[in-house]
A and B are shown apart, each in its own frame.
Chain A
């Protein structure tokens, strides 16, 4: 018996066919994966969310005022001034101020006057935002920077 008649482990033609098929398969899967990269932007279309809120004198000790046009409450105590985000940590609705704290109109989360969760589905306390003072003496809130709850800014 000549070795030409011995069975080939994998005939050349089958090998080439399989190689072609796998190459096509990998190319297609690779292109699809590559295309799926597109919907995830590398740079997000966002504007800086730092805004001025006026002079410290406008916030007398003991006051709690909502900044017009912003979802931020400015709290003024003896220890200084703080800004609490009014965006609900549950699903992003804007909470409203009540005598006892905050309440969310969408799913009923209730927060204390300093943003601690009292009831409802919110997973965490309202965020406290960074307060700073610009060179002209006015206060600014940066909605992109979170600070630890209880951090008051001394003007």
Chain B
């Protein structure tokens, strides 16, 4: 069974993420201090709410440098929702906030209107399927995802990597693409909530757990 270290820096969805990871067979170690991350093979970073508060809380608990070091050393990382956004260099939500800078790019407000000028509701709440015209999903958490299966989004901002090749998947909202997943090497981030995305979400977490496990074997 793969062991995953889950960063508990005060984010509201940590318990539901823990439950979903346990459901797909992971041995989850919930870490409330950075010392507990020592020896981690895989780190999961949850996150809900505002970017500024999340990164401040992560930083205050001393998780910033250890996560950056682990990512640089090739440890598997999965960021969820704001946990994905904080992988970026900075965010433009309520002023400018520095992120972890693990994947270069910025977190920006999603488009406010359709290509034909109709108003789009923000936050974007609801179920949308994922797609990519350029990236192959094998070897990523999206490997086993059925193409048409939608996942659950609740957000107003999305992560735009500087290098479009770091975008693993998009979702369509109001006729425009929004960034749904990013990845670079073994670092992954998903904007949606896999822990609330029915079977599709569980299959994503399961693929991640299986890849960590296969790597450790």
Whether A associates with B in a native complex is no
Residues of chain A having any CB pair with chain B under 8 Å? none
